[in-house]
Amino acid sequence: MMIDITEVQDINSFSRLESLKEVYGIIWVLVPSFTLVLGITIGVLVIVWLEREISAGIQQRIGPEYAGPLGVLQALADGTKLLFKENLLPSRGDTRLFSIGPSISVISILVSYSVIPFGYNFVLADLNIGVFLWIAISSIAPIGLLMSGYGSNNKYSFLGGLRATAQSISYEIPLTLCVLSISLLSNSSSTVDIVDAQSKYGFGGWNLWRQPIGFIVFLISSLAECERLPFDLPEAEEELVAGYQTEYSGIKFGLFYVASYLNLFASSLFVTVLYLGGWNISIPYIFGSELFEINKTCGIFGTTIAIFITLAKTYLFLFISITTRWTLPRLRMDQLLNLGWKFLLPISLGNLLLTTSSQLLSL
């Protein structure tokens, strides 16, 4: 049977068109992820610059000012320096665990950004279990710290990894109970639904006013989870041998600090989503009810306004976290664990019981 040449050309062009469509489909799937990673990277660089500037202002010193205008490129310069430094490996350590540990700490936190809504329908993955996915994924980070301490084949590094892991586990439980209270109050575990539940009553509908005890517990637990002062016991071991970071150098050493700032940024975003109304502008109705819907429009303007409001609330919380670091003294290890297990855990359990009782009575 003879096949016409034009038919063969049509088949070939159709197959090429289909392959191009598949390539474009793959690209459009990857573009949101790369955009999110780029935005997170810029946000972390801004946090590092803000911390240095705010701490310099609190301590009445100059701060970074030579790398770029107002020192905005100082964090980029430090990262470039660490990138080109030599990576040293312990001669008798487990090189696989030693190399995988920092990567696990960073990747586990990066994945949690996928469920954070920056605006109305502007979220990478709107899942029904969004907040608990964040809890589950972020709980993997302490495993990376423990692997780093164990893989160093150094007893001081191993003890530092154990202490960092114990601290993270101690404060993850109260934090999870606070998130569970918010889920019960909002009748959903989706981050988008939690923000929508707060938007019905404007500023007065924020969970900050409906869950004040949970907000305080969440605030303290998130600071301890991020190893920030006054809970920076792993960093305090620099006075001795630097804890689980003792044997690290180069970019692997820098990854731990990247993970710390990524975790701080993610925690601040979740504070905004869970307690501060997310992307809602929250202006009372007397100033115009149409302003409630301005950031629910599907256009670029509405999305931009929503992102701006979310980041403004987030950086407000970051300012509080940075100021706390340079204000309060450091706790001892026993005080830190006692605060987590003997105070925050019973308080968060009581808050969950009150929330459950109020929800049952309202049915």
Q: What is the pLDDT of residues 48-80, one digit of tens each?
A: 999 999 989 888 888 888 888 888 888 888 888
Residue 294 has pLDDT above 80, yes or no: no
pLDDT at 25: 65
pLDDT at 38: 87
The whole-angstrom separation of Cα 295 and Cα 297 is 5
Q: Of the segments 6-15, 21-30, 202-211, 292-301, which one has the largest average pLDDT value?
A: 202-211
CA 148 vs CA 85, 226, 296: distances in Å? 19, 17, 45
Higher pLDDT, 53 or 21: 53
The amino acid at 131: V
pLDDT tens-place string over residues 247-258: 888 888 889 888
Three-state SS at 119: strand
Token look-up 């590092």 returns 48
Q: What is the mean pLDDT of residues 225-236?
A: 75
pLDDT at 6: 60
Cβ contacts of 297-303, under 8 Å, gap ≥ 24: 297/120, 298/121, 302/119, 302/120, 303/119, 303/120, 303/122
Residue 352 has pLDDT above 90, yes or no: yes
Q: What is the mean pLDDT of residues 307-330?
A: 89
Token look-up 């990567």 returns 103
Three-state SS at 122: strand
From the list 168, 155, 160, 193, the residue with the least C-alpha distance to 260 is 168
The amino acid at 243: G
Residue 317 has pLDDT above 60, yes or no: yes
pLDDT tens-place string over residues 119-176: 877 888 888 888 888 888 888 888 988 899 899 888 888 888 888 888 888 999 999 9
The whole-angstrom separation of Cα 53 and Cα 36 is 26
pLDDT tens-place string over residues 256-276: 888 889 999 999 999 999 999
pLDDT at 289: 45
Contact 226/324 with Cβ under 8 angstroms?
no
